[in-house]
Chain A
Amino acid sequence: MQQLLDILSGLHPEVDFETTEDLIDDGILDSLDIVSIVSSVYSEFDVTIPPEEIIPENFNSAVALMELITRLDEE
């Protein structure tokens, strides 16, 4: 989780990713950020997020994103 938070803070140091839950809906993360996150997740977790998982629900909070990564890794 810390690893993921580091990736996110790297993009937006001013945001508290542990508590914010509307990252997409509030427009904090834009498409550039998503592209960046997906590639970082790939390099750091060795998990490829498939296009169909790139939906707001999975990116709205760090927790949701972590859940996605774990699920994709476990499956």
Chain B
Amino acid sequence: MSHIILEARDIRYRYPRGPEAIHGISFHVRRGEKVALVGPNGAGKSTLLLMFNGMIRPDLGTILIDNEPIRYDRESLRTVRKRIGFVMQNPDRQIIAPTVYQDVAFGPTNLGLSEQEVKGAVEKSLRLVGLSGFERRPPHQLSGGEKKRVAIAGILAMDPDVLVFDEPTSGLDPSGSEDIMELLDELNQQGKTIIISTHDIELAYPWAERAILLLNGKILQEDVPDIAFGDQDLVRKARLSMPTLLELYLELERRGFHLPGRKPRTVLDMINIMDRAFRNKPCYTEPGTISLVDVDSPNGVDLSVWRSSNPGVPIGGMGTRAKQYAADRMIPLDFTYGVIDKCILKALLGEDSLIIITGSMVQRVHERVDEFCRENQVCIRVSNLSKDGNR
């Protein structure tokens, strides 16, 4: 198990002239984890997050980074803020410069990087969030989702180890929210540790590896999401509602259906559980193939040829650059979020599918499909067209 990168030890904090906002919270986050802090408004989520990069100093208790307590002198805080990037809820409050380039360059410039290094960092982070070409645009002309991406790029340009997001999807439409969550997955896949705060339990449930339920400045429950969100009383107490899939699963169980396997986190999990419970096998036909087109691979694949020889095959996009690639070539995407699961669902129906994918996510597809196949004794073929040639 990887080592602890961030730890809170018995944190207490009271706002000036206000009630105590945080009442003795202790928890830790391991390197590479995806953690969701979930709780109603006023639970203390944002206050807690602001402590991670030293923006708020706890009255009592310690925040540790790599087992070293945070020191609050100017120089130490700079190091902390370089390592722990904080993306605010409202991007308008985070974006300070008159153009996208200047805003993303703000952090690296102040870290003392040379002009060339700053330029490189800005280009890299804008590419990561899919905003290449936006350098000279002023922020007030961007949409909510684009502003959010600029804010994220501004933090990524400082190359932090941990990314802390306060309500990453607030104010975004469902598709924008899915894009941001997918971006968080992509960043996690590249080795970043990610902590989010949210009250959107449906969003946190399939995404997080660990969920921390907060209420009135205290931790109510801390566990894997299906356990953290699986207790009806606790969830109600935290003024939240149980994820629909989990509720459906528990209701079926209460009605005497014996459901095998772990609790479902995605539609695929649920379908699989039901198939196995009621039909005793996950797949009735020869499973379809999932083809991958890696946009970062030097072996280009002519997608127009592929599409004309495979008409009607659904196409998913994984990763910001892959979606950009599809948009540039006017390829309509059928799936943009939860793509692997949706392709597995197609494969189980005997249908083929294609994923246009960013290089760093290829491994993730193989892992997820292999894991599914192992658990369910089926064999779904994943073929990387960029590697195997255009077949």
Are A and B interaction partners? no
